[in-house]
């Protein structure tokens, strides 16, 4: 650690190296911390979570009773012990609440003033965060399993929606209508995900055990269908041709660089694919227990050296290294099936929602002795008080993981505080451990 | 140390007791205290025990866990790291993994575990996140009610709730129905009650209701007052008047019993509505009047007090008269009040059979539903009223006339006035004019006069006597389809025909022709002795010669068209003719219970208790034996000796199983002792954990044993085969017919 810092100070190392090493260390030490709690509001299982990419401060959760709750993850209390408060919620008494289980929630990638939620009541709702009123409602013929909005898109404003019908719908927020339909799947579409690298590339996973990649500009069809056998056996058995799994494919996630795609299926397997060629990389993760009938949401770390995947595994969360397929650890804490997890890459925290109504926060373990004074030093300054409305100029640089200095239009001090652990330039070396205290 | 630890855990958990052995526990804790390593080991051991499919093992293991949990941080951390599984194994959080049998212990385990989790949460919930999560999980997701002593699950509670709700609904429905019924019926009930009350009043004026009373008796008083001397008599009458309502029996204050009791003037005045009682007391009063009249007539001359007192034989002038108001009244029905009484009877029936039960039902349904408002009060009021009415009716002691069913009277009874109300109807076929005495009541008839009197009557009497002597026959006669009944009819129609029934002659003749009594009694005795046998052909042809019996016409030619000249040929068949005269009576003999026992000596020294007739299934033919079980006959003895010898020869003496077992135990080599006696083997095999409840034993119910037999694969196959065969047989029945052959 100190070696990294001195090397960084002397300019021998790329600043990224220190950051990577520290992130990795923190991810590896994730544990259930008694100091961190998420308020228990959900009365039934938590299906989906999303942390806004702008600041990584607000988290949305969708429950199987149709409730959507917004949490504030930031700790301003100056105490190590913190319970994440619910800022507001779309409760059962709300006039526009989803009637059935909310399957997916997602923030608008560039702004916290808006979020989307889709539900089994066959609707996709676009919410205004400040008024908590639906700005728009899309209706579908079947229950909506999943929807996704491209995190990087600048040329389009499409939401991909996977429903019970085999068609993938693309809803245009600009026009407020369903602009495209992608045909090709034979059964319900359980997961959709936009590539974080190419804004027009979309991956969809279906119950017909196929995963397709699409370029939404192409009208003729999908780019390619992932094949678990890489085309070797598919000639022999036409039935198994071009299948990604031997069961329903219900989880889908791109790596943060968008070069690889991770899928999970009900055949208890997880597969890593090259997203540009569609090739199965044949990484063996072993058995990944998966009994869910609907989509599951798993997370991939961001900014670590070997990247990690956090995958629900019954009532536990399995942590795998993505490229080697090694099972690092099992995070035990839930008492019922885990449905979703989401990674907060700024502080290397993991949040998971389960059928037992809990949202658990997995926080890096503290390092042993901590100097007292660091705590005050790093609590966020007052003027950093965040408002939804004020997010008109997003700190886009955080989500892409570039160096702080290059951030355009970002508030300098705010950036340092937000990104405290990754910006050693402004820190005196002996104060470094205090960073962890921030959690 | 590790060895010792596992041994201790094993012993503690397989003790099968609800309490842990304190010494062993102490030892166990001491070992655990020595190092974290041991705690780790103990944790794994306990988890394995908790995983065992036996509630008693789990319960004991859980108790150990509970002990260690409060003492060691290390152990807490270990348990909590795997708290999900721990809860699954003890609190039954996973419904796919129910707690193992025995049930009671499993329930106890669950209760204890829930309680412990709560305690732990209170103590350590702060420090251990997983623990508090688990607690909240139980509380909120599994809806475990930590206050609920029964540790019922949500489903159980819900089921109970549902049951309660259903019952409530049913009750509500009942209440609704009762309410409607009440609204409908209360009017009717009130009417009936009023009717009854009025009837009572008419029958029996209320002694305290003087207005009614006066109105009734006024004329009487006035009449007497007018006729007789005014002052004293009216005084006396006033005295007597209340007494007229009482039951005075014969103890009249005046000694006028001997006097002629009928006073014409009073008799004429008698109110028709007054009952017998009133009549009588009236008569009493009348007597009193009569008496006083006489007395007064004698004493009118000297209206001196003394003389009055003396002449009346009274001790003093101011004597007091104690009147006992008796409550047991008796009302008798007569022509005058029959209409009232019949309406009372109707009302009484209505109340007793209809109103009271339904009111009781309402009250029941109201109380069941927990309703205690006006409705219930109203129902109770009604019930009370009805009950008082019934009580009153009982108090009245109404002496009903026999209610007659007029239809039955038509031919039988002698009332002329009845007869002219009915049109003569030809007698029905099979109609029985004679109803036996013991059945007369059922028919609603007066019992016939005693048999002695009837004996004088020519026809009815005779049959009556015979029926008395032969109750069985009598019952048969009642059945119009029976031959006996027809016989009786005949007999009754032709009473003069003496040979038909000897009893007729026996009973009718003695008075008429004076035959000796002894012959009749003798016959009677014989009759009693004779067996009763079912009617048959032999009886039908009794004493008659059947010339054609047993004759069979036989055609010698079998041809359809060609027949021989002599048309038929008679063949006499002895058997057939015999058949008409014979009767087979099977005589099976009497069952005699076996009195002897087998008494063969048993291995345990006692004698065989079996009571077989000839042969004991274990000890062969039953032979006479002495007290010690040895055969008495020498040849038997020899045979038994021989058998024993042969048996011994099969198994050499040195291979005595007992001895062998000892040797084996000493040497440690299996010499095959178990081969010789199956029993020894069974006894020798010890159960692994003798203290635990044997689950197999529990599962070994009569049902499971039967299941094993019935659902045995072989048995099923056999049954199926047999049924298939039966099916095929059914088809085979007509298999030789063209029509069915193809089916």
Do B129 and A34 lie within an 8 Å CB cutoff? yes
Contact call for residues A104 and A147 (beta carbons, < 8 A): yes
Chain B CB within 8 Å of residue A40 CB: yes
Q: Give yes or no: residues B74 and B187 share one domain.
A: no
Looking up tokens 């449905």 gives A339
In a domain, B674, yes or no: no
Q: The dihedral of CA B356, B359, B361, B367: what is its sign?
A: negative
pLDDT greater than 70 at residue A51? yes
Q: Does A361 touch chain B (CB under 8 A)?
A: no
Chain A hits for B141, Cβ within 8 Å: 335-336, 356-357
Question: Does the distance separating the beta carbons of A336 and B81 come in below 8 Å?
Answer: no
Domain containing B109 — which CATH number?
A: 1.25.40.90
Query: Is there a single domain that holds both residue B198 and residue B75?
Result: no
Domain-located, residue B178? yes
Given this model, what pLDDT does residue A118 score?
Answer: 92
pLDDT surpassing 60 at residue A190:
yes
Q: By the 8 A CB rule, do B467 and B455 touch?
A: no
Average pLDDT over residues A14-22: 84
Q: Give B132→chain A minimum CA distance, Å.
A: 10
Query: Structural domain of residue B353, as residue ranges?
Result: 170-204+331-399
**How long is chain A?**
439
* Torsion angles phi and psi, residue A135, rounded to 5: -80, -30
Chain A residues inside the 8 Å CB shell of B130 = 32, 332-333
Domain count, chain B: 3
Cβ atoms within 10 Å, residue B301: 8
The reply to whether residue B127 touches residue A336, judged by beta carbons under 8 angstroms, is: no
Q: Choose between A23 and A405: higher pLDDT.
A: A23
Neighbours of B46 (CB within 10 A): 23
CB-CB under 8 Å, B136 with A358:
yes
Chain A: residue whose CA lies nearest to B86: A335
Using the Cβ of B134 and the Cβ atoms of chain A, whether some distance falls under 8 Å is answered with yes
Contact A105, A61 (CB under 8 A): yes
A39 in B contact zone (CB under 8 Å): no
Kindly state whether residue B197 falls inside one of the protein's structural domains.
yes
On whether any CB of chain A is under 8 Å from the CB of B137, the answer is yes
* Distance to chain A for B80, nearest Cα, Å: 9
Q: Does B93 touch chain A (CB under 8 A)?
A: yes
Give the H or E element holding residue B552: strand B551-554
B-facing residues of A in 276-335 (CB < 8 A) are 315, 332-335
**CA–CA separation, A248 and A269 (whole Å):** 11
The reply to whether residue A335 touches residue B87, judged by beta carbons under 8 angstroms, is yes
Has residue B619 been placed in a domain?
yes
Domains of chain A: 1-364 (2.130.10.10)
In chain B, what is the greatest distance between 2 CA atoms, to the nearest angstrom?
A: 140
Question: B341 in a domain, yes or no?
Answer: yes
pLDDT value, residue A193: 92
Instruction: Name which of A40, A315, A357 is nearest B84 (Cβ-Cβ).
Output: A315
User: Which pLDDT score is estimated for B575?
Assistant: 75
Chain B neighbours among A 238-277 (CB < 8 Å)? none
Whether A337 has its CB under 8 Å from any CB of chain B: the answer is: no
Question: Are B340 and B200 found together in one domain?
Answer: yes
Per the DSSP assignment, residues forming a β-bridge with A437 are none
Long-range contacts for A261-265 (Cβ within 8 Å, ≥24 apart)? A261/A193, A261/A203, A261/A211, A261/A213, A261/A226, A262/A298, A262/A300, A262/A309, A262/A322, A263/A205, A263/A211, A263/A226, A264/A288, A264/A290, A264/A296, A264/A298, A264/A311, A265/A209, A265/A290
Same domain, B45 and B103: yes
Cα of B158 to nearest chain A Cα, Å: 18
The verdict on a CB contact (< 8 Å) between B136 and A332 is no
Kindly report, residue by residue over B594-632, the tens digit of the pLDDT: 888 888 888 888 888 888 888 888 888 888 888 888 888
pLDDT of residue B720: 92
CB contact under 8 A, A40 and B133: no
Is B178 in contact with B365 (CB distance < 8 Å)? yes
Q: Specify the DSSP element, H or E, that contains B554.
A: strand B551-554
Q: Tell me how far apart the alpha carbons of residues A328 and A306 are, in angstroms, rounded to a whole number.
A: 11
Residues B195 and B342 grouped into a single domain = yes
- Across the interface, which of B81, B84, B128 has its CB nearest the CB of A335? B84
The C-alpha of B126 sits at a distance from chain A's nearest C-alpha, in angstroms, of: 8
B137 CB neighbours in chain A (<8 A) are 335-336, 356, 358
Return the DSSP state at B532: P
SS3 per residue for chain A: CHHHHHHHHHCCCCHHHHHHHHHHHHHHCEEECCCEEECCCCCCCEEEEEECCCCCCEEEEEECCCCEEEEECCCCCCCCCEEEEEEEEECCCCCCCCCCCEEEEEECCCCCCEEEEEECCCEEEEEECCCCEEEEEEECCCCEEEEEECCCCCCCCEEEEEECCCCEEEEECCCCEEEEEECCCCCCEEEEEECCCCCCEEEEEECCCCEEEEECCCCCCCCEECCCCCCCCCCCCCCCCCCCCCCCEEEEEECCCCCEEEEEECCCEEEEEECCCCCECCCCCCCCCCCCCCCCECEECCCCCCCEEEEEECCEEEEEECCCCCEEEEEECCCCCEEEEEEECCCCEEEEEECCCCEEEEEECCCCCCCCCHHHHCCCCHHHCCCCCCCCCCCHHHHHCCCHHHCCCCCHHHHHHHCHHHCHHHCCHHHCCHHHHCC
CB A212, CB A191: distance < 8 Å: no
List of residues 6+ apart from B169 with CB closer than 8 A: none
Q: Are residues B91 and B17 in the same domain?
A: yes
Per-residue pLDDT, A148:
92
Are B114 and B188 part of one and the same domain? no
Lowest mean pLDDT among A148-162, A255-269, B503-517, B533-547: B503-517
Which 3-state string (H, E, C) describes B15-36? CCCCCCCHHHHHHHHHHHHHCH
Taking only the tens place, the pLDDT of each residue in A210-219 is 899 999 888 7
Chain B contact probe: residue of A36, A330, A337, A356 with most B CBs at under 10 A: A356
Q: Is B718 helix (H, G, I), strand (E, B) or coil?
A: helix
Q: Specify whether B38 is located in the same domain as B131.
A: yes
Asked if B196 and B148 sit in the same domain, the reply is: no
Angle B70-B73-B74 (CA atoms, 0-180°, nearest 5)?
125
* B651 lies in some domain: no
Split at pLDDT 50, 70, 90, the class of A73 is confident
Query: Are B21 and B84 in the same domain?
Result: yes
Chain A residues with CB inside 8 Å of B82's CB? 332
> Of B81, B82, B141, which has the smallest distance from its Cβ to A357's Cβ?
B141
- The H or E element containing residue B381 is helix B374-396
Residues B4 and B80 placed together within one structural domain of the fold? yes
Whether pLDDT at A421 is above 70:
no
Comparing CA positions, the residue from B103, B106, B116 lying closest to residue B144 is: B116
Chain B residues lying within 8 Å of A317, measured CB to CB:
none
The token duo for B99 is 């707690």
Q: pLDDT grade, residue A417 (50/70/90)? A: very low
Report the residue of chain B nearest A44, measured CA to CA: B141
Q: Which of B128, B129, B141 sits opposite A335 (nearest CB)?
A: B141
Helix extents (H) in B270-352: 276-299, 305-312, 338-350
For residues B123 and B178, membership in a common domain is answered with no
pLDDT value at residue B605 = 82
Show which of B632, B661, B693 is a domain's final residue: B632
B82 has a chain A CB within 8 A of its CB: yes
pLDDT digit string, tens, across residues B289-323: 444 444 444 444 455 666 776 777 766 666 677 77
Other CB atoms closer than 10 Å to residue B571's CB: what's the count?
10
Is residue B351 domain-resident? yes
Q: Do B141 and A356 touch (CB under 8 A)?
A: yes
Report the pLDDT averaged over residues A146-156: 89
pLDDT for A115 equals: 92
The residue of chain A with its CA nearest to that of B85 is A335
In sequence order, the β-bridge partners of residue A160 are A148, A170
B217 vs A16, residue with greater confidence: A16
- On whether ipTM exceeds 0.85, the answer is no
Which chain B residues have a beta carbon less than 8 Å from that of A335?
84, 87, 93, 133-134, 137, 141
- Residue B408 lies inside a defined structural domain of this protein: no
Select from B632, B658, B689 the last residue of a domain: B632
- Please name the residue of chain B whose CA is at the shortest distance from the CA of residue A31: B129
Contact A169, A181 (CB under 8 A): yes
- Domain end position, chosen among B349, B380, B399: B399
| All residues at 6 or more sequence positions from A221 whose CB lies less than 8 Å from its CB, including other chains | A183, A184
State residue B710's pLDDT score. 85
CB-CB neighbors (< 8 A) of B89 in chain A: none
- pLDDT at position A105: 92
Give yes or no for B259 touching A (CB within 8 A).
no
Mean pLDDT computed over every residue of chain A: 79
Q: What is the pLDDT of residue A50?
A: 92
Q: Is A336 on the interface with B (CB under 8 A)?
A: yes
Q: Does B90 touch chain A (CB under 8 A)?
A: no
Of A40, A333, A336, the CB nearest to B130: A333
pLDDT averages per 10-residue partition of chain B, 743 residues = 80 80 84 83 86 85 86 85 85 80 83 86 82 83 68 72 89 86 85 84 65 44 43 43 44 45 43 45 46 45 64 69 66 75 84 85 83 81 86 76 49 46 57 58 53 44 44 56 68 56 44 61 84 78 72 70 66 74 77 83 84 84 83 84 81 64 67 49 53 72 85 90 82 65 52
Tell me what pLDDT residue B203 has: 75
């Amino acid at each position: 650690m100190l070696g990294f810092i001195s090397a960084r100070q002397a300019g021998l190392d790329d600043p990224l190296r220190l950051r990577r090493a520290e992130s990795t260390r923190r991810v590896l030490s994730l544990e259930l911390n008694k100091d961190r709690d998420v308020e228990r509001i959900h009365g039934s299982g938590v299906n989906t979570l999303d942390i806004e990419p702008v600041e990584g401060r607000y988290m949305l959760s969708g429950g199987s009773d149709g409730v959507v709750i917004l949490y504030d993850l930031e700790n301003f209390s100056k105490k190590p012990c913190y319970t994440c408060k619910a800022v507001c919620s779309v409760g059962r008494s709300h006039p526009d609440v989803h009637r059935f289980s909310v399957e997916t929630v997602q923030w608008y990638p560039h702004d916290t003033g808006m979020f989307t939620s889709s539900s089994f009541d066959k609707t996709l709702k676009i919410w205004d965060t400040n008024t908590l009123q639906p700005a728009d409602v899309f209706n579908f013929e079947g229950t909506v399993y999943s929807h996704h909005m491209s995190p990087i898109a600048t040329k389009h404003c499409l939401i991909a929606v996977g429903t019970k019908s085999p068609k993938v719908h693309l809803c245009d927020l600009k026009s407020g209508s369903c602009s495209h339909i992608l045909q090709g799947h034979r059964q319900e579409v359980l997961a959709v995900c936009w590539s974080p690298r190419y804004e027009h590339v979309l991956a969809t996973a279906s119950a017909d055990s196929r995963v397709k990649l699409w370029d939404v500009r192409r009208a003729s069809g999908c780019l390619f269908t992932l094949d678990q056998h890489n085309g070797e056996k598919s000639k022999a058995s036409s039935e198994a041709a071009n299948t990604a799994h031997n069961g329903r494919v219900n989880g889908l996630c791109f790596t943060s660089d968008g070069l690889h795609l991770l899928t999970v299926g009900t055949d208890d397997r997880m597969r890593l694919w090259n997203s540009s060629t569609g090739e199965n990389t044949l990484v063996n993760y072993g058995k990944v227990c998966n009994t869910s009938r609907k989509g599951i949401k798993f997370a991939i770390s961001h900014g670590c050296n070997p990247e990690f995947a956090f995958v629900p595994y019954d009532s536990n969360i399995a942590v795998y290294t993505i490229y080697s397929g090694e099972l690092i650890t099992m995070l035990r804490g839930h008492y019922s099936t885990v449905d979703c997890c989401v990674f907060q890459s700024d502080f290397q925290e993991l949040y998971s929602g389960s059928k037992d109504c809990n949202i658990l926060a997995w926080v890096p373990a503290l390092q042993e002795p901590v100097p007292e004074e660091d705590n005050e030093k790093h609590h966020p300054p007052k003027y950093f008080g965040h408002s939804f409305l004020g997010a008109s100029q997003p700190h886009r640089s955080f989500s892409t993981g570039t160096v702080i200095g290059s951030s355009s239009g970002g508030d300098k001090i705010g950036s340092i505080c937000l990104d405290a652990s990754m910006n050693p330039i402004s820190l005196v070396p002996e104060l470094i451990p205090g960073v962890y205290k921030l959690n | 140390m590790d060895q010792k630890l596992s041994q201790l855990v094993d012993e503690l958990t397989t003790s099968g007791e609800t309490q842990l052995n304190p010494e062993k526990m102490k030892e166990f804790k001491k070992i655990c205290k020595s190092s974290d390593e041991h705690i780790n080991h103990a944790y794994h051991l306990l988890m394995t025990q908790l995983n065992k499919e036996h509630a008693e093992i789990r319960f004991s293991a859980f108790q150990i866990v509970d002990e260690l949990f409060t003492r060691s941080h290390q152990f807490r951390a270990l348990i909590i790291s795997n708290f999900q599984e721990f809860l699954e194994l003890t609190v039954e959080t996973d419904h796919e993994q129910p707690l193992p049998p025995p049930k009671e212990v499993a329930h106890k385990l669950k209760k204890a575990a829930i309680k412990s989790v709560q305690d732990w949460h209170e103590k350590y919930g702060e420090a251990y996140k997983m623990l508090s999560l688990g607690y909240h999980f139980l509380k909120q997701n599994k809806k475990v009610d930590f206050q609920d002593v029964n540790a019922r699950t949500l489903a159980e509670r819900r089921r109970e709730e549902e049951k309660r709700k259903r019952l409530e609904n049913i009750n509500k429905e009942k209440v609704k129905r009762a309410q409607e019924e009440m609204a409908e019926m209360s009017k009717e009930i009130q009417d009936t009650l009023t009717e009854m009350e009025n009837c009572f009043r008419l029958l029996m004026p209320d002694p305290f209701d003087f207005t009614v009373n006066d109105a009734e008796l006024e004329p009487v008083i006035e009449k007497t007052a007018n006729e007789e001397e005014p002052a004293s008599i009216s005084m006396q009458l006033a005295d007597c008047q209340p007494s007229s309502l009482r039951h005075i029996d014969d103890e009249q204050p005046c000694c006028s019993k001997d006097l002629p009791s009928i006073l014409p003037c009073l008799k004429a005045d008698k109110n028709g509505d007054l009952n017998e009682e009133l009549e009588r007391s009236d008569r009493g009063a009348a007597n009193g009047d009569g008496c006083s009249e006489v007395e007064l007539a004698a004493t009118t001359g000297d209206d001196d007090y003394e003389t009055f007192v003396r002449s009346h034989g009274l001790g003093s002038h101011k004597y007091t008269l104690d009147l006992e108001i008796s409550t047991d009244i008796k009302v008798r029905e007569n022509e005058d009040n029959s209409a009232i009484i019949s309406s009372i009877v109707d009302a009484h029936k209505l109340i007793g059979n209809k109103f009271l039960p339904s009111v009781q039902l309402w009250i029941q349904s109201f109380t069941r539903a927990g309703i205690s408002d006006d409705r219930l009060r109203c129902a109770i009021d009604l019930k009370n009223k009805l009950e008082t009415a019934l009580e009153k009716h009982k108090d009245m002691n109404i002496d009903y006339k026999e209610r007659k069913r007029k239809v039955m009277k038509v031919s039988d009874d002698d009332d002329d006035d009845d007869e002219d109300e009915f049109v003569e109807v030809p007698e029905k076929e099979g109609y029985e004019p004679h109803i036996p005495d013991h059945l007369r009541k059922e028919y609603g008839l007066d019992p016939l006069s005693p048999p002695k009197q009837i004996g004088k009557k020519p026809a009815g009497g005779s049959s009556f006597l015979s029926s008395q002597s032969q109750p069985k026959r009598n019952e048969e006669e009642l059945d119009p389809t029976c031959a006996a009944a027809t016989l009786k009819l005949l007999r009754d129609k032709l009473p003069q025909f003496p040979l038909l029934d000897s009893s007729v002659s026996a009973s009718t003749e003695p008075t008429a022709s004076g035959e000796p009594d002894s012959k009749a009694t003798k016959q009677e005795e014989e009759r009693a002795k004779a067996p009763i046998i079912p009617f048959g052909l032999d009886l039908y042809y009794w004493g008659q010669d059947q010339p054609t019996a047993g004759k069979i016409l036989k055609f010698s030619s079998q041809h359809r068209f060609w027949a021989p000249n002599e048309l038929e040929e008679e063949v006499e068949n002895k058997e057939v003719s015999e058949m008409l005269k014979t009767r087979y009576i099977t005589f099976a003999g009497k069952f005699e219970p076996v009195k002897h026992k087998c008494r063969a000596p048993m291995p345990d020294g006692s004698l065989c208790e079996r009571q077989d007739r000839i042969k004991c299934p274990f000890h062969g033919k039953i032979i006479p034996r002495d007290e010690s079980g040895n055969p008495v006959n020498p040849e038997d003895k020899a045979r038994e000796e021989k058998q024993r010898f042969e048996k011994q020869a099969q198994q050499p003496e040195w291979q005595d199983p007992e001895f062998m077992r000892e040797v084996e135990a000493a040497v440690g080599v299996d010499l095959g002792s178990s081969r010789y006696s199956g029993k020894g083997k069974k006894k020798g095999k010890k159960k692994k954990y003798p203290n635990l409840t044997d689950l197999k034993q529990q599962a070994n119910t009569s049902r499971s044993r039967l299941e094993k037999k019935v659902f045995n694969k072989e048995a099923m196959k056999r049954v199926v085969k047999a049924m298939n065969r039966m099916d095929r047989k059914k088809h085979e029945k007509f298999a030789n017919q063209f029509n069915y052959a193809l089916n």
